[in-house]
């Protein structure tokens, strides 16, 4: 399956929230929708779920406008919340039924997921008797129990301990393997880096960057060197304006416009006692800061 | 439709699991049971109560209170005492001839409860320490003195005391035949029904608003709004609350009818209860129709309001406009009922306006005269309005639920609505 956002624009009153947003998401691969707070991620998600109507553009599934009667969407909202005073099984079954499941199927599916996430013992408890992390897991079931075609996970890892995060990672991997369209939205770049094959960065309602994550990293300007030396202070004095400290004690040296990597490297080796020089691999964090920051 | 029934079921289940809801219903049923069974129980405890029939009770007073009489015209003293003793059975009536100041002293000190100083047969002063709200002694004494005066005058004019007494105590027999509606008995059950309508709508309206606002503040809304369409959502919530309300009323009135019939013998001759439990069946049908429609139209408004609240605390202020609208309808009806002209112009208009017609038209049917086509027109307008208001409120609901912020503004919701359409 291929989900396409095609030139989506959306305004609330005078405020233009999305401007000509386009990107595609392939099934069987995880997609990361990134952006700073207020960039337009949630609005994009809500348009995808037919909560808001876009002003312009369309959303296509396999080339045809998405049919909400046939396409099931699972959603884990960033603002978590269910009925705190109601029995867990009852509300999970209710949400699955609202998505079109029969009562019997809903109970079976909810029981499967409760078991899968190790929550069966809470089946007949009230939601507000659970810890926050466990409530998160219950919330996740509402996104998955009805076997959706498209799964939207907004900040799925926030508030989970490492063991639960691991469990969630496994579940997400399984979901991707089942050839679902999985759309992530997160500020925790490490998770996006781990899961997502492609990303889109939205900045102020526009797509600032979209593409295959590996490809983005590969084509990202490799113009920084990581230098380990015994003469840190001397090197810093000499290259003061383009040199910065890295947490592990080595230095990051930014190359100027015309400088060649080879030239600078040999210059460094000649002048200083060098232990190691390597090209700096950009992290998603660097890419995010560059594209989602105000510098763009 | 499928979603609607799922939502209806879920919401209804919520009511039946709500301890407060069940508690209030049970409490009221028990209260009615106690109220209706008490007279029977009392007569069971006192099986030898055959000689203490209700009629004999007032004639065996305790006479533990003291009333002093000081008459300046000695010729009427004995007559006055005789009359006062008969008219105030709960008082020990005593002639007091020491003086006015001493009489005041006696009353002030509490030795006597009250006192009359009779200046002449046409003038007296009533002395009492603290005048109670229900103290009618002065008025009764006035009537007595009038009688004493009249009899005295008649005797002076040559009648024997017996003849005079006969003239004074003549009784007139009368009979009233109601050809239209009896507003005295109708008033009571109409009043009870209007009050039930009023209480139930306000209570459930608040419940619907709170229900929606709770979903919004707990953020369950985020999921709901992406899972179900707002019209199903709104109608599911409101219809379920209506059903819950009807079931509650059925439980309360049903148990009242059952208990009343079990204990019918103990309530013989009670006009109020007779009126309440002998409502004409067709009126009950109209009650049901106007109850359901009136309930729905207000519950929709309350639901829409709940969706505009960001916090539960906001609800109390937000519901005020709707509550006022409802109060206006209520007071128009109650005042018209009080004035006994329920077919006045205001009521005629109110019985077609959707927000006031449930109470106004019902009252006119019960107590006034309305043609059947007028009732039909009112019901049709009301049904149309219920559907219209329902759909409008569903739209407000959808626009409102995703607006978070400090002060939800009605204008911003209207704007969001206009943008949508």
User: Residue A207 corresponds to which tokens in the numbers above?
Assistant: 């797509």
| Over residues B6-31, mean pLDDT | 91
Cβ atoms within 10 Å of A68's Cβ, excluding its own: 13
| Over residues A248-260, mean pLDDT | 82
Question: Contact, B355 vs B196, CB < 8 A?
Answer: no
**Among A14, A98, A153, the residue to mutate for chain B (most B Cβ within 10 A):** A98
Long-range contacts from B45-53, C-beta under 8 angstroms, 24+ separation: none
* Gap between the Cα atoms of B198 and B327, Å rounded: 9
> What is the pLDDT at residue B62?
59
Residue A83 touches chain B, beta carbons under 8 Å:
yes
Q: Which of B215, B226, B415 sits opposite A13 (nearest CB)?
A: B415
* A75 interaction partners in chain B (CB closer than 8 Å): 222-223, 226
> What is the pLDDT at residue B384?
95
> What is the pLDDT at residue B381?
95
**Among B10, B19, B409, B419, the residue to mutate for chain A (most A Cβ within 10 A):** B10
Q: What is the DSSP string of B84-117?
A: HHHH-TTEEEEE--S-HHHHHHHHHHTSSSEEEE
**What is the DSSP-derived secondary structure letter of residue A282?**
P
> What is the pLDDT at residue B9?
92
- Residues A99, A102, A107, A110: is their CA dihedral positive or negative? negative
Q: Is the pLDDT score of A228 beyond 60?
A: yes
Q: Which residue has the tokens 């209480």?
A: B199
User: What 3-state class would DSSP assign to B406?
Assistant: coil
Q: CA A29 from chain center: how many Å?
A: 12
Is pLDDT larger for residue B53 or for residue B210? B210
* Gap between the Cα atoms of A176 and A29, Å rounded: 6
> What is the pLDDT at residue B50?
47
Mean pLDDT over each residue of chain B, to the nearest integer: 84
pLDDT band at B226 (very low <50, low <70, confident <90, very high): confident
Q: Which of A75, A84, A90 sits opposite B223 (nearest CB)?
A: A75
Q: Is the pLDDT score of B1 beyond 80?
A: no
pLDDT > 90 in chain B, percent: 18
* A48 interaction partners in chain B (CB closer than 8 Å): none
Q: Is the pLDDT score of B241 beyond 60?
A: yes
pLDDT band at B309 (very low <50, low <70, confident <90, very high): confident
Q: How far is A159 from chain B (nearest CA, A)?
A: 17
Residue A60 touches chain B, beta carbons under 8 Å:
no
**Among A81, A143, A148, A185, the residue to mutate for chain B (most B Cβ within 10 A):** A81
> What is the pLDDT at residue B161?
80
* Gap between the Cα atoms of B44 and B32, Å rounded: 19
User: Residue A105 corresponds to which tokens in the numbers above?
Assistant: 């199927």
Domains and CATH numbers, chain B: 2-28+182-420 (no CATH), 66-168 (3.40.190)
Q: How far is A52 from chain B (nearest CA, A)?
A: 9
Residue A126 touches chain B, beta carbons under 8 Å:
no
* Gap between the Cα atoms of A15 and B410, Å rounded: 19
Each residue's pLDDT tens digit, B179-196: 777 777 778 888 888 888
Each residue's pLDDT tens digit, A260-277: 888 888 888 888 888 888
Question: Contact, A33 vs A207, CB < 8 A?
Answer: no
Q: Which of B2, B10, B415 sits opposite A94 (nearest CB)?
A: B10
Q: How far is A47 from chain B (nearest CA, A)?
A: 10
* Gap between the Cα atoms of B308 and B416, Å rounded: 12
Q: Which of B10, B222, B420 sits opposite A81 (nearest CB)?
A: B222
C-alpha closest to that of A125 among A88, A96, A157: A88
C-alpha closest to that of A112 among A145, A142, A71, A140: A145
User: Residue B271 corresponds to which tokens in the numbers above?
Assistant: 């006009």
Q: Is B222–A79 a contact, with Cβ atoms under 8 angstroms apart?
A: yes
* A98 interaction partners in chain B (CB closer than 8 Å): 3, 6-7, 224, 227-228
Q: Is A97–B219 a contact, with Cβ atoms under 8 angstroms apart?
A: no
**Among A71, A83, A90, the residue to mutate for chain B (most B Cβ within 10 A):** A83
Q: Is the pLDDT score of B56 beyond 60?
A: no
Lowest mean pLDDT, pick from A42-51, A241-250, B23-32: A241-250
pLDDT band at A23 (very low <50, low <70, confident <90, very high): very high
pLDDT > 90 in chain A, percent: 36
**Number of residues in chain A:** 296
Lowest mean pLDDT, pick from A13-17, B107-111, B194-198, B390-394: A13-17
pLDDT > 70 in chain A, percent: 99
Q: Is A77–B402 a contact, with Cβ atoms under 8 angstroms apart?
A: no
- For B399, residues 6+ apart whose C-beta sits below 8 A from its C-beta are B413, B416, B417, B420
Q: How far is A126 from chain B (nearest CA, A)?
A: 13
pLDDT band at A218 (very low <50, low <70, confident <90, very high): confident
* Gap between the Cα atoms of B299 and B289, Å rounded: 15
Cβ atoms within 10 Å of A60's Cβ, excluding its own: 15
The two most distant CA atoms of chain B are separated, in Å, by: 98
Count of CA atoms in the C-beta half-sphere (13 A) of A31: 26
- Strand arrangement, sheet containing A181-185: A73-76, A150-154, A181-185, A30-35, A196-203, A206-212
Q: What is the DSSP string of A17-73?
A: EEEEEEEEEETTSEEEEEE-TTSSHHHHHHHHTTSS--SEEEEEETTEE--TTT--E
Is pLDDT larger for residue B336 or for residue B310? B336
Rg (C-alpha) for chain A, rounded Å, is 23
Q: Is A97–B415 a contact, with Cβ atoms under 8 angstroms apart?
A: no
**Which residue from B minimizes the CA distance to A43?**
B402
> What is the pLDDT at residue A79?
79
- Residues B324, B327, B329, B332: is their CA dihedral positive or negative? negative
Mean pLDDT over each residue of chain A, to the nearest integer: 88
* Gap between the Cα atoms of A235 and A230, Å rounded: 9
pLDDT band at B409 (very low <50, low <70, confident <90, very high): low
* B8 interaction partners in chain A (CB closer than 8 Å): none
Q: Is the pLDDT score of B54 beyond 50?
A: no
CA dihedral in degrees (B115, B118, B124, B130; nearest 10)?
A: -10
Q: Is A83–B228 a contact, with Cβ atoms under 8 angstroms apart?
A: no
Cβ atoms within 10 Å of B372's Cβ, excluding its own: 8
A78-103 burial, b if ≥16 CB within 10 A, otherwise e?
bebbbbeebbbbbbbbbbbbbbebee
* A79 interaction partners in chain B (CB closer than 8 Å): 219, 222
C-alpha closest to that of B364 among B392, B333, B406: B333
Residue A104 touches chain B, beta carbons under 8 Å:
no
* Gap between the Cα atoms of A16 and A204, Å rounded: 9
Measured CA to CA in angstroms, residue A71 lies from A52, B6, B7 at distances of 17, 20, 21
- Which helix (H) or strand (E) element contains residue B186? helix B183-217
> What is the pLDDT at residue B162?
83
Q: Using DSSP bridges, classify how beta strands A243-245 and A251-254 pair: parallel, antiparallel or unpaired.
A: antiparallel
Interface residue ranges in chain B relative to chain A, Cβ cutoff 8 Å: 2-3, 6-7, 10, 13-14, 215, 218-228, 402, 415, 419-420
Measured CA to CA in angstroms, residue B73 lies from A114, B81, B144, B146, B361 at distances of 99, 13, 16, 15, 62
Q: What is the DSSP string of A133-190?
A: HHHHHHHHHHHHTT--SEEEEESTTTT--HHHHHHHHHHHHHHHHTT-EEEEE-S-HH
Long-range contacts from A192-195, C-beta under 8 angstroms, 24+ separation: A192/A32, A192/A34, A192/A284, A193/A283, A193/A284, A194/A169, A195/A30, A195/A32, A195/A169
pLDDT band at B405 (very low <50, low <70, confident <90, very high): low
**Number of residues in chain B:** 421
> What is the pLDDT at residue A294?
67
Each residue's pLDDT tens digit, B333-353: 888 888 878 888 889 999 999
Q: Is the pLDDT score of A63 beyond 60?
A: yes
C-alpha closest to that of A139 among A162, A114, A121, A115: A114
Q: Is the pLDDT score of B305 beyond 50?
A: yes
Q: Is the pLDDT score of B358 beyond 70?
A: yes
> What is the pLDDT at residue B289?
92
pLDDT band at A296 (very low <50, low <70, confident <90, very high): very low
> What is the pLDDT at residue B59?
47
> What is the pLDDT at residue B63?
67
* A84 interaction partners in chain B (CB closer than 8 Å): 218
* Gap between the Cα atoms of B93 and B82, Å rounded: 9
| Over residues B275-287, mean pLDDT | 82
Each residue's pLDDT tens digit, B194-218: 888 888 888 889 888 988 888 888 8
> What is the pLDDT at residue A238?
82
Q: What secondary structure, in 3-state letters, does B304-319 show?
A: HHHHHCCCCCHHHHHC
* Gap between the Cα atoms of B346 and B372, Å rounded: 19
Total beta-carbon pairs less than 8 A apart between chain A and chain B:
52
ipTM surpassing 0.85: no
Q: Is A98–B3 a contact, with Cβ atoms under 8 angstroms apart?
A: yes
Q: Is A259 exposed, middle or buried (0-12, 13-18, 19+ CB in 10 A)?
A: middle
* Gap between the Cα atoms of B419 and B83, Å rounded: 83
Cβ atoms within 10 Å of B263's Cβ, excluding its own: 18
Q: Is the pLDDT score of B66 beyond 50?
A: yes
Each residue's pLDDT tens digit, A74-130: 999 887 888 888 999 999 999 999 998 999 999 999 999 999 999 999 999 999 999
Each residue's pLDDT tens digit, A30-42: 899 998 888 888 8
> What is the pLDDT at residue B55?
44
Q: Which of A49, A82, A84 sits opposite B226 (nearest CB)?
A: A49
pLDDT band at B383 (very low <50, low <70, confident <90, very high): very high
Question: Contact, B106 vs B68, CB < 8 A?
Answer: yes
Q: How far is B223 from chain A (nearest CA, A)?
A: 7
């Amino acid at each position: 399956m291929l989900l396409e956002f095609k030139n989506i624009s959306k305004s609330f009153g005078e405020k233009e929230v999305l401007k000509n947003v386009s990107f595609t998401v392939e099934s069987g691969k995880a997609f990361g929708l990134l952006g700073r707070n207020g960039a337009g991620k949630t609005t994009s998600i809500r348009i995808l779920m037919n909560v808001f109507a876009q002003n312009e553009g369309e959303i296509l599934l396999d080339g045809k406008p998405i049919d909400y009667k046939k396409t099931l969407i699972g959603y884990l909202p960033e603002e978590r919340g269910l009925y705190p005073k109601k029995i867990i099984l009852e509300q999970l079954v209710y949400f699955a039924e609202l998505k079109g499941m029969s009562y019997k199927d809903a109970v079976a599916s909810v029981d499967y997921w409760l078991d899968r996430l190790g929550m069966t013992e809470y089946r007949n408890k009230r939601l507000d008797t659970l810890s926050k992390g466990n409530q998160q897991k219950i919330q996740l079931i509402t996104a998955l129990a009805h076997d959706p075609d498209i799964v939207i996970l907004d900040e799925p890892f926030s508030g989970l301990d490492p063991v639960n995060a691991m469990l969630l990672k496994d579940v997400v991997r399984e979901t991707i393997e089942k050839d679902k369209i999985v759309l992530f939205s997160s500020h925790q770049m490490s998770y996006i880096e781990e899961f997502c094959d492609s990303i889109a960065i939205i900045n102020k309602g526009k797509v600032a960057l979209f593409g295959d994550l590996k490809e983005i990293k590969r084509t990202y300007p490799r113009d920084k060197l990581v230098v380990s030396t015994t003469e840190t202070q001397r090197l810093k004095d000499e290259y003061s304006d383009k040199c910065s400290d890295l947490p592990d004690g080595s230095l990051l040296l930014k190359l100027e416009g015309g400088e060649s990597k080879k030239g600078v490297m040999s210059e460094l080796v000649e002048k200083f006692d060098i232990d190691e020089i390597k090209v700096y691999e950009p992290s998603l964090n660097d890419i995010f800061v560059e594209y989602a920051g105000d510098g763009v | 439709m499928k979603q609607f029934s799922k939502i209806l079921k879920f919401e209804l289940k919520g009511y039946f699991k709500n301890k407060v809801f069940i508690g209030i219903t049970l409490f009221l049923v028990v209260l009615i049971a106690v109220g209706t069974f008490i007279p029977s129980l009392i007569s069971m405890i006192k099986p030898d109560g055959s000689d203490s029939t209700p009629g004999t009770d007032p004639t065996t007073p305790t006479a533990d209170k003291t009333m002093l009489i000081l008459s300046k015209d000695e010729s009427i003293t004995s007559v006055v005492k005789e009359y006062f003793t008969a008219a105030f059975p709960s008082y020990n009536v005593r002639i007091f001839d020491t003086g006015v100041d001493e009489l005041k002293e006696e009353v002030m000190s509490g030795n006597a409860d009250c006192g009359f100083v009779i200046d002449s047969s046409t003038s007296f002063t009533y002395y009492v320490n603290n005048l109670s709200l229900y103290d009618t002694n002065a008025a009764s004494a006035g009537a007595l003195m009038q009688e004493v005066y009249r009899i005295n005058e008649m005797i002076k004019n040559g009648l024997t005391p017996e003849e005079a007494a006969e003239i004074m105590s003549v009784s007139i027999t009368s009979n009233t035949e109601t050809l239209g509606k009896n507003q005295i008995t109708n008033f009571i059950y109409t009043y009870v029904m209007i009050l039930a309508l009023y209480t139930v709508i306000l209570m459930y309206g608040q419940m619907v608003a709170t229900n929606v606002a709770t979903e919004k503040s707990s953020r369950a809304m985020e999921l709901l709004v992406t899972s179900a369409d707002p019209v199903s959502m709104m109608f599911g919530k409101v219809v379920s609350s209506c059903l819950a309300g009807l079931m509650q009323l059925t439980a309360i009135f049903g148990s009242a009818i059952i208990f009343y019939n079990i204990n019918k013998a103990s309530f013989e001759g009670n006009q109020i209860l007779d009126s309440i439990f002998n409502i004409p069946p067709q009126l009950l049908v109209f009650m049901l129709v106007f109850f359901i429609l009136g309930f729905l139209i207000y519950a929709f408004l309350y639901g829409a309001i709940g969706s505009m609240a960001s916090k539960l605390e906001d609800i109390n202020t937000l519901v005020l406009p709707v509550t006022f609208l409802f109060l206006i309808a209520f007071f128009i009806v109650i005042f018209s009922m009080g004035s006994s002209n329920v077919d006045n112009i205001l009521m005629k208009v109110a019985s077609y306006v959707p927000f006031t017609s449930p109470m106004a038209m019902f009252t006119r049917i019960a107590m006034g005269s309305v043609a059947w086509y007028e009732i039909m027109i009112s019901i049709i307008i009301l049904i149309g309005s219920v559907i219209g208001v329902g759909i409008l409120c569903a739209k407000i609901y959808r626009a409102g639920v995703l607006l978070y912020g400090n002060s939800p503004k009605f204008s911003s919701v209207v704007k969001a609505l206009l943008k949508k359409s």
